[in-house]
């Protein structure tokens, strides 16, 4: 559909008071994919006469929250001696755009489904030749004719992981809505605990010049069975990507972003069935949905004798020793991994796949985390084939519905570009109480088969 958006103002917001100047050394977990991720948040509010005040209040709140979340106002730079990416906390600021549309939110239909016109709701920034000139976090607030509002945010994945980014958003919303700032957690942005642990002389971590030599790490070992493409030897390989604020590239293979909705009743039935038939102690929504989308995707893409791999991030904040703490904002997710043949995956019952996924989670121990993180510091980088590798990310635990900037609770959320666009994201369906969503990117020629597979698997 057509969506007219009129830009009103572009400003660089800096912290309301000078923050702590520092350089944050990033870990391999941060630097593995520093590209920009965009989310559009929709609020079916009725802001009219007070809209200008509401937007100004959100601006001031963002400036306040940046004081303690100062990496968001910083810039990337490459350490010339190591070739590794760093964050310079220099208060250069966040780019915020305010805009207006003469359309109404209801004209957009189902809000959580990606539409090309959503690209107009996120900041369209010019590309800088130097990554140190680009903001790490961008915002666009668009007011609609109905009084509704969209808040679009884009941030580098190297800045915060999902937990950190959501806590940042929640803190901004908390202050914007006028709530007590003393209720907020004090964030910890330092990666020193991770870096010190993996380089500690007391930690016996095998040295390897190449990431290909890390046979002792399941998530890397499993990738040996699928094609891999080697990358450059340091973080300078990211420079051309980091100066681009690009979103969905429809020119490469006709990638389409598909959103599936699943009723709570269906998921609960699958969970109960898996527990009963597989004699499982427990079964989570993530276990069920990740098993289901893995089966549906590989059936659409690959022949039966193909080696395949499912990988999914596991939060290591509490598994790392000593624990990183819930206020740690850097990337703390380590990939768990399951591998098999397409034929075996499609022939085995749902509960067997779930058991493998649960087993992969148990592998993520303190020792594994440190070995994995150390491996990412090795001299080679690679991209595995995204046909054989399925990545599933769990956003089910993020309470998006609680986000309130002072103009009402969130009505819906839509994902735009992600660092790996074929990744499947599991989210709550805010437009259908209790329901769930699966958002995934796939080549246009496979959409029909994927939809058919996803909707026709019968586990009863």
Catalytic residues: 157
Could you tell me which residues come within 8 angstroms of residue 367 by beta carbon, excluding any fewer than 6 positions away?
none
Q: Are strands 389-394 and 307-315 parallel, antiparallel or unpaired?
A: parallel
- Closest of 57, 59, 55, 53 to residue 14, by C-alpha: 59
Which two three-digit tokens encode residue 128?
A: 């800088």
296 SS3 class = helix
CB atoms near residue 422 (< 10 Å): 18
Q: 443 forms bridges with which residues in the sheet?
A: 255
Exposed / middle / buried, residue 27 (Cβ in 10 Å: 0-12, 13-18, 19+): buried
CA atoms of 333 and 316, how far apart (whole Å): 6
How far is it, in rounded angstroms, from Cα 150 to Cα 72?
A: 21
Helix ranges (H only) for 13-155 are: 28-31, 51-68
Taking each helix axis from N to C terminus, what angle separates 264-278 and 350-362, rounded to the nearest 10 degrees?
80
Residues 454 and 301 sit within 8 Å (Cβ to Cβ): no
As a whole number of angstroms, the distance between CA 247 and CA 249 comes to 6
Alpha-carbon torsion angle 241, 3, 424, 271, nearest 10? 160
Residue with tokens 């906390």: 89
> How many CB atoms are closer than 10 A to CB 444?
11
């Amino acid at each position: 559909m057509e969506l007219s958006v009129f830009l009103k103002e572009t400003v660089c917001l800096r912290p309301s008071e000078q923050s702590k100047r520092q350089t944050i050394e990033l870990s391999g977990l941060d630097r593995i994919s520093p590209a920009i991720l965009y989310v559009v948040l929709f609020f079916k509010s009725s802001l009219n006469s007070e809209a200008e005040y509401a937007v100004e209040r959100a601006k001031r709140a963002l400036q306040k929250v940046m004081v303690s979340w100062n990496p968001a106002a910083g810039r990337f730079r490459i350490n010339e001696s190591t070739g590794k990416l760093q964050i310079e906390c220099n208060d250069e600021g966040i780019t915020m755009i305010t805009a207006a549309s003469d359309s109404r939110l209801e004209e957009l239909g189902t809000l959580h489904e990606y539409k090309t016109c959503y690209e107009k709701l996120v900041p369209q920034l010019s590309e800088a030749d130097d990554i140190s000139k680009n903001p790490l976090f961008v915002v666009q607030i668009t007011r609609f004719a109905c009084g509704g509002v969209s808040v679009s945010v884009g941030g580098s994945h190297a800045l915060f992981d999902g937990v950190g980014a959501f806590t940042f958003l929640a803190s901004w919303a908390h202050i914007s809505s006028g709530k007590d700032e003393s209720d907020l957690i004090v964030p910890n942005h330092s990666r020193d605990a991770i870096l010190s642990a993996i380089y500690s002389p007391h930690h016996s971590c095998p040295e390897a010049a190449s990431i290909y030599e890390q046979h002792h790490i399941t998530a890397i070992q499993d990738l040996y069975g699928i094609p891999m493409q080697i990358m450059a030897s340091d973080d300078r390989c990211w420079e051309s990507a980091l100066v681009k604020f690009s979103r969905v590239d429809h020119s490469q293979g006709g990638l389409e972003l598909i959103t599936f909705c699943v009723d709570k009743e269906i998921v609960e039935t699958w969970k109960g069935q898996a527990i009963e038939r597989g004699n499982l102690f427990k079964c989570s929504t993530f276990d069920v949905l990740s098993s289901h989308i893995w089966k549906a995707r590989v059936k659409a893409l690959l022949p039966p004798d193909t080696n395949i791999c499912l990988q999914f991030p596991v939060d290591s904040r509490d598994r790392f020793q000593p624990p990183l703490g819930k206020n740690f904002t850097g990337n703390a997710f380590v990939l768990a991994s399951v591998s098999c043949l397409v034929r075996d995956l499609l022939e085995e019952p749902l509960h067997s796949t779930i058991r493998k996924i649960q087993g992969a989670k148990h592998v993520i121990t303190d020792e594994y985390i440190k070995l994995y993180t150390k491996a990412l510091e090795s001299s080679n980088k690679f991209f595995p084939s995204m046909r054989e590798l399925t990545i599933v990310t769990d956003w089910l635990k993020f309470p998006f519905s609680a986000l309130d900037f002072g103009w009402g609770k969130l009505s819906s959320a839509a994902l735009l570009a992600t660092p790996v666009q074929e990744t499947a994201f599991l989210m709550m369906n805010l437009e259908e109480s209790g329901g769930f969503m699966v958002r995934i990117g796939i080549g246009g020629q496979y959409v029909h088969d994927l939809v058919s597979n996803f909707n026709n698997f019968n586990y009863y």
